[in-house]
Structure 1
Amino acid sequence: MINSLSGWKHPALLLCSIGISNIGNFIYLVAINIIVYQLTGSAAAVAGLWVIGPLTNIITKVWTGSFIDYRSKRKVMMVTYIIRAAFIAMIPLATNMVVLYGILVILSMANAFFTPSSMTYVTILIPREKRKRFNSMRSFASSGAFIIGPSVGGSMILLTSIETTLWLNALFFIIPAILLVFLPEKENIDKAAIPRLTVSQVIHDFTVVRAFMSKHTYVSAIYFGFIIIMIFSFAMDAQEVVFTQQVVGLSEFDYSLLISITGIGSVTGAVLLSIFSNKLSLRYMIIVGLVMMTIGYVIYAFSWSFSSIVIGFVILGFFNVFLNAGIMTFYQNNVPVEVMGRVTSIYQLMQSAIQVIFILAIGIVADVVSLRLTIVTLSLVMLLAAFVFTFAVLKPNKRHFYQEEEESNAIAK
């Protein structure tokens, strides 16, 4: 028993670090939307916040993987936390929108480094047989942050001020950085062997990623298929406020209540997944999560009332955690840590580029035809894609890609 608890000491610290920073992310999201609106009075300026992340990713993801793979992932995570804390604390000092957007770009760049490095560090720290359980608990932490973060952020703004809230928000990134100090350094980094970050090095690393994708076509196809399907959900989410209020006729209070109920559905799904993850196969976590989440979007697309949207959102919120935990475990089990930073960065580069194009296209289409028809079409195409994806996951000769025991991993052979 003592050995078992000791074995979960480091994963627990890592979960706490990620969980606290997730709460900080949602507090920041609430505060930054308010401060941008206060400075500009423009809904378009607030909407621009949705574009900064993907556009920054397109610029930075070209070379972030080349930086991350040759350096300590734990230290990269620590530095990104400290950068986020410092620049969030600077936001109240911004005198105009140019300075503010400059700060937001730096924050997005820090996040662009954090995601691939954290994905790789989790893979290094957590043994293969424990990853599914860890990712399930991480989904619980993320879902909990979805509810706690906005509540804490709103309360802090009411009790203090938007400026004080942002200064306190910085602590939600300093504390995770401190927690990482107590985690082990699992990599033997030879500083003398670290290549310079040059254009030729970045081009070479692109060829390494392309070689990986060519050699491991099934893993690449599954993960890229997941990205494409999730872009459909992202496009629908971007039109969510307009759809629920203008098409269905919900009030702002109804919409706020809807988001809270969705969060409760996510937390409920994450709790059950954390308890029963060891009894669920990785393949069924992925396909049940995907198909049921997509059905939730279809119900939402055809909804004409608050109650029907609630049903759709609870279903998609509940099963989304199954899909995310499953696909993350699949990815960690099948992508070598030596190239994971570069592979993850390139995938996210492609995802961001497609997202920007797709969201702009959907916005234009929604103006030409009805938004209802646009959302219904997106949901049905997403459902069809989910069934095709399910067929690919359930292929009998691909079973070994979903095994959780180390000896079953045949991808590198």
Structure 2
Amino acid sequence: MLLFGLGISTLGDFIYLVAINVLVLKLTGSAAAVAGLWIIGPVASMVTKFWSGSVIDRFNLRRIMIGTDIIRAIFVATIPFLSSIWLIYVCLFILAVSKAFFEPAAISYITSIVPEKGRKQFNSFRSMITSSAFLIGPAISGALLLITSVKISIWINALSFIISAVMIYLLPNVHADSEVREWKMSINLLKKDWSEVFRFSKEHVFIVNVYFLSQFLMVIALGMDAQEVVFTQKVLNLSETEYGLLISLTGVGAILGAATVSAAAKKLSIRALMALGYIMVSAGYLVYAFSFSFWTVAIGFMILGFFNSFSGTGFMTFYQNNVPVHMMGRISSVYGLFQSILQVIFILLIGFTGDLIPVRYSIIAASVLMTVISILLIRLILMPSKSDYFEEDMKLKNTS
């Protein structure tokens, strides 16, 4: 039921992803406006995540997830009625704030409800469901763009949040309401929580290094994804339908990769998943950056789609096995704050420079940087002295 709830919400997200990019590009015709669309989330995270973790670790996780799903449903449903790009940005800001609460709460909830020995298998199944949504969602959105409009795609996303909220409501609490700690938000509380996060970071330097390098790769990928519609339509001259088909073909690679991980989860180590995943995802982005036709960019996207499940499953299992669940909300939020700052920088670099220099040059530079970071991360992961961090039944170590 948890997988279904998360999966249906993700399906709506992928339908919405194509629609909102097309809507903003049609409304403005500007690469900078599309970049602005993608920068809203990181900005919202920057003003939210420095305190949201304190709430998540002290509040009922299921209620947070249900509440944020309902809020997102309402504001997503409002977007088609707006004709101003600035009002759309306001809605997206509120959506991003809600997401800044939902995602860390969901990670904590999953870690609490799924036994440690079953986390890699669960993560692989979730990746498979996400990949299926990645395949089906854009295909549905592409079809809707042909027969209806972007509004229908966006409203379907709103409905998916309602369904997700209902599914989560039917799940058990990970703790009773009586176990939720009494607290009051204050500067002193935030200082105490941040101090605990920094103390954990000092004691577990290796975990922090792996986390930040992994998230840095995601930041670079997000920067490139922010200009995906611009690159495909203005550089490669692909149509809206071809763009939707391109995303769907990427989904073919993603679902095949997720199925492979799900089938071989017990045989593939966390290290192998991460190392193979990161280097091949980088290779996929390199192919994409140097593409000159629909089929070459499709090959690149299918490669990165296939191996994204490897890196995603490996990293999430590593994170869940090494971070204490009672601090997961604060750690996810504090680290996420720094990640959001980097996201803003990279989206600005790639997006706004796209109005000054050819978009292709920005994408090539970002893909090369991603490859370099991947190699550094893989060297770190494969250090023999750090093998204990990748044991699937390990307990949290006290030193780095």
Tell me if TM exceeds 0.5. yes
How far 1:51 sits from its partner (Å)?
1.6
How far 1:168 sits from its partner (Å)?
4.8
Is the Cα contact below 8 Å between 1:400 and 1:409 reproduced in 2? no
Equivalent position amino acid for 1:411 in 2: K
1:14-413 correspondence runs (5 A): 14-33=2-21, 36=24, 40-43=27-30, 44-94=32-82, 96-155=84-143, 166-190=154-178, 193-248=181-236, 250=238, 253-363=241-351, 371-405=359-393, 408-412=394-398
Distance 1:35 1:245 in 2: 14
C-alpha distance after superposition, 1:386-405 (max 9, x if no partner): 12211111111111111111
Distance 1:81 1:111 in 2: 8
Distance 1:313 1:356 in 2: 24
How far 1:96 sits from its partner (Å)?
4.9
C-alpha distance after superposition, 1:47-79 (max 9, x if no partner): 432121111111111111011010111111111
Cα distance 1:385–1:111, how it changes in 2: closer, same or farther (>3 A)? Answer: same
Is the Cα contact below 8 Å between 1:116 and 1:341 reproduced in 2? yes
Equivalent position amino acid for 1:58 in 2: M
State, as a whole percentage, how many aligned pairs show the same letter.
43
C-alpha distance after superposition, 1:141-180 (max 9, x if no partner): 1111112223334555666665565555433112221112
Distance 2:302 2:155 in 1: 34
Distance 1:237 1:306 in 2: 16
TM-score (norm 1): 0.87
Provide structure 2 residue ranges, at least 5 long, that are not aligned to the other structure.
none
Cα distance 1:157–1:379, how it changes in 2: closer, same or farther (>3 A)? Answer: closer
Provide structure 1 residue ranges, at least 5 long, that are not aligned to the other structure.
1-12
How far 1:325 sits from its partner (Å)?
0.9
Distance 2:286 2:153 in 1: 38
How far 1:94 sits from its partner (Å)?
4.5
C-alpha distance after superposition, 1:244-268 (max 9, x if no partner): 4555565555444322211111111
Distance 1:391 1:92 in 2: 47
TM-score (norm 2): 0.90
Equivalent position amino acid for 1:140 in 2: M
Equivalent position amino acid for 1:339 in 2: M
Is the Cα contact below 8 Å between 2:71 and 2:98 reproduced in 1? yes
C-alpha distance after superposition, 1:342-375 (max 9, x if no partner): 1101121111111111221234655666544443
Distance 1:106 1:183 in 2: 26
Aligned length: 398
Distance 1:195 1:254 in 2: 52
Match of 1:5 in 2: none
Distance 1:369 1:93 in 2: 34
Alignment root-mean-square deviation, CA: 2.6
